[in-house]
Structures are given as structure tokens and as C-alpha cells.
Chains A and B, each alone.
Chain A
Amino acid sequence: MARIIVVTSGKGGVGKTTTSASFASGLALRGHRTAVIDFDVGLRNLDLIMGCERRVVYDFVNVIHGEATLNQALIKDKHNDNLSVLAASQTRDKEALTKEGVEKVLHDLGGMGFEYIVCDSPAGIETGALMAMHFADEALVVTNPEVSSVRDSDRILGMLASKTKRAIEGKEPIKEHLLITRYNPNRVDAGHMLSLEDIQDILRIPLIGVIPESESVLQASNQGSPAVHLKGTDVSEAYLDVVSRFVGEDRPLRFVDPEKAGFLKRLFGRKG
């Protein structure tokens, strides 16, 4: 059976779709057959980030309504054959998702030999987000180092522990992972952002990684290529670390210490 991972946060704009794309790509790069599903029906974005928007003919909702088969709707990733994308519908709303429909799609994907299914959750705590998390085995909770994002992640953690299939049926709880994105150690140092320790003290779930704030993320999304493919950048390295930790390897945390001001910088003061 495929392992189902939901990428969720409560708050919008924290990097769920960026994370879904890079995390799923990272799993595929390691040779795992992976599917990534956009649950943001009505506001689809994942296909843009993955750079496959021109190849979307059938989508998730078509499959749920029996208007297309999974094979017709799955789009092979241009970077890696192990990865397939199931796009959201832009013309429907979240009510088009039914529990039975979602369950069938997830089950069929497992039957097709996918090892991992990554569910990119929409923001909010309504139907779309509930559907994305309902069947999950694990959750990546994406959090920015600011109070409102942490509060929303806390809310989502409460829902993961009470509203999902595993919670309702009293099975082993969903395995929760904290992923902190847009982390800027210099701004943490200056007291403008919550620190890693502050966030962990509030949420108290295991940390799977820290993605540094970076210009490359914007660049990647505009190019339609997941940030993990920007070889050599901090963001790409950080996402590869996350994937390694997810499959059980030990990796030290990187990109969490403030940059030491160089000699010239110390001499002339910092810019910005």
C-alpha cells in the first residue's frame, strides 16, 4: 500500500505547494514512484510550479466523477519518470471532492504501484484541507517563523489528531513532521522572526527540516521547476535533506545559523 503524506499548514502562502513539488520530486529523485495531488480545487497552482500546466487535459475532479481514468489524468513529470502529477480542477470548487471519491483515487494509485502519494492541501480548515488530510499516514506541517503561522499550524495539528481517518478509527496517529520554511537566521538573530526553539516549544512535534528564505524559490516557481532542481542552492540542499530524513537517514540541520559578517561588511556596516 502506498504511504500517503499530506502537506498542510492552515495558513496560506507559507510554502505548501513549493514544498509538495520539491518533496515529491526529491522522493522521485531517490527512485521512489511518487504521485503528487493538488487538492486546491478552484485555485490550482501545483501544475504551474511543476511546469506541466499546458499538459493538463483531465484533472482530479474528472477522475472522482468518473469522467476520466486515472491513467488519462496523471501527468508524467518532465524531470523524472518516477513522478506523476494529478492536477486540480480550476473550474470547480472544493465541494466537488467527496470522501469516497478521494479514497478510491488514493487506493487506485496504490494499486498502480506508487510508493508515496503526496497530497498538497489548500489553505484553511474547510472541506479541501479536511479531504487532503483525511487519509494521510504522515503529515508535513509547513510553518513560517511568525506567530500567526504557528497558531494556524497548531490548529491544523489539532485537526490531524481528531478529524482524520486514523484519529476517528482510533488507529496509530498520523506521524507529524514540522517543516519550517522561509527561515532567515539573521532576522531571527535580530529578533524579527520566531526562532526554531520558539516554534518547537509551541508546537512540540519532531522537526524534519528548515528551508531558508531565498530568492531562488520565486525564481523556481516562475520557471515552472520545483526548487529542489536548482542544483547547489541552499533551498535545494535543504529540501534534499528533508527527503533524506523522511526516508530515515540522519542529516545535521543546515542553514540555521546567522551568516558571520565578513571583514568588509564589518568595516562598512551591513546593508539593508
Chain B
Amino acid sequence: MTVALAGRTPATFEIKSANLPLVALLLKSSDLQLLEQELQGRFGDAPDFFDNDPLVIDLAPAGEGEIDFGTLVRLLKRHRVMPVAVKGGTPGQMEAAVQAGLACAQDAALNPTFHPGGLSQREREEAREEQPHVPPVVQAPPVHSCALVIDKPLRSGQQVYARGRDVVVLAMVNAGAEVIADGHIHVYAPLRGKAIAGARGNAQARILTLCLEPELVSIAGVYRTSEHPLPDTLRGKPAQVRLEGEKLVMLPLNP
């Protein structure tokens, strides 16, 4: 949707409206030290969990305390998220956030429904006309990103997360290791650890491996552990795992 500007069209730029998939941080305290500790505890072991994802900070649950936005932004960037906006804060907090270079998204909704409240009247109308079915803001993964390729063994204690895409693992995934992807998981070697495909609910995701002997396989939250041994036709063989309804289906791969 191009916004028509008066006169000729400039050669160097074009203004378009765009939607950005965002992650939201619901800030529940203004104690940044505590936040740092808890972030470290939750994501310290998985420094690649975020991939410089844009983020909106929801201040509503944080109370009315003063927040040092400079420190908060640095802290979040260390965890590889890019704070771009705040919402739901007190006027004082919002003002401080603007001073720190963040945008105010006072009325932006964090749920999938699109509320063009922050736009100008004219843009709002255009948005309504031309984009009646805006994709869900939060859950939309980048569509054309290429699969994450891992070419070293994943050993006990190691974890890989392919955010919003597939993962291709060219070496073994040992017991105690975890491969997680929002899309498919391909393992061209023995899969002995945990494989979690469709981690954000994609029921179409599959797990494919040349040697199926996992501790756990899961697709869109439906899982099976090694407590129930696989039949001899599948165990240690090339196989795929997919979801049919609420049931995991495992089939041998017969090229």
C-alpha cells in the first residue's frame, strides 16, 4: 500500500505501511537487577534463543515505579532482542521511554487482532480497505527464511532452536541433546536425543531422520517418549514422524 505523496514520486525511497511480527515482554517489576538474574536463569544456557527479534515492552504489569530505560534496553540487547517500543506505562514512564529512543505504542494490541488505533485517520481507512485480513501479529513466522543447518554433533546438554524455520542436522543428535524447530526437523544421522518440531504449534511439521532412536519426539505439543519402545521396523531405521489429528504417526522412509 503506497502512500501517495504530492507531486512526483521520489527515486530514492517509497513510504509503505508494514506489519512487524513482534515478541512482547510483559514487564512485571521495575527491579532491573532481578530481571537480569531471571533472564540469565531462563535464557543464559541458550544464548541463541532470540535472534535479534524486535520486541515491545508492555509496562502495564510493572506498576508505577521509575524505570531506567537505558539500562533495560542494554540488558535486553544482551539477550539478543531489539526493544523498539513500549506500551501501557504511566505518562512518566512513557516519556522516559521516548527519551531513551523507544516508540510509544500506547494502543497497540498484543493479540492477533489488528487495531490500527495508532495510525492517522487516512492510514486507518486504507488499512481497513486494503488489509482486512492482517496476519496474526505475534505468531507470524518469517515465511521465506532458509533452514538452520547444523553440521557438528549435538551432544548431551546441547540445544538448538530453529526459530520460525526448519532445522537440518548433518551430524548425530545424542541422548541428552535437544533439537527444537518451529518447522520441520531433518537429521541426516542418528537421532538419539529429543526432537521437538512445530514448537509453536505448527501441526504440519515433520521429523525426518536416517536413524530413529529418540528419547522423545514431539510435534505441535503431541509427544512420545522412549518409555514405549519403537517397533523393530522403525527403531534405528530411516523414518519420518508426523501428526495425523491428535496422533503421532511414524513411518519408515523407503527411498
Contact = CB atoms under 8 A, between A and B. Distances in A.
A247 interface: no
A204 B175 CA distance: 13
A162 B192 CA distance: 20
B174 A154 contact: yes
Interface string A156-167: 011101100000
Interface residues of A, number: 12
Interface in A44-83: none
A204 B158 contact: no
Interface residues of B, number: 13
Nearest to B157: A155
Contact of B156 (A154, A162, A204): A154
B176 A204 contact: no
B172 A158 contact: no
A202 interface: yes
Contacts of B155: 154-155, 157-158, 161
B152 A161 contact: yes
A245 interface: no
A155 B153 contact: no
Nearest to B177: A158
A151 interface: yes
A151 B175 contact: yes
B152 A204 contact: no
A270 B152 CA distance: 46
A204 B153 contact: yes
A155 B156 contact: yes
A116 B153 CA distance: 29
Nearest to B153: A204
Contacts of B174: 154, 202
B160 to A, nearest CB: 12
B175 A158 contact: no
Interface string A138-168: 0000000000000110110111011000000
Nearest to B155: A158
A157 B172 CA distance: 13
Contacts of A157: 153, 155
A173 to B, nearest CB: 9
Interface string B171-183: 0101111000000
Name the 7 nearest CB pairs between A and B, nearest first: A158-B155, A154-B156, A155-B156, A155-B157, A154-B155, A158-B158, A154-B174
Interface of B: 152-158, 172, 174-177, 192
Interface of A: 125, 151-152, 154-155, 157-159, 161-162, 202, 204
Given A151-B156, A154-B156, A204-B153, 14 more contacts: A125-B157, A151-B175, A152-B156, A154-B174, A155-B157, A157-B153, A158-B154, A158-B156, A158-B158, A158-B177, A161-B152, A161-B155, A162-B158, A202-B175
8 contacts: A151-B175, A152-B156, A154-B175, A155-B176, A158-B154, A159-B157, A161-B152, A202-B175
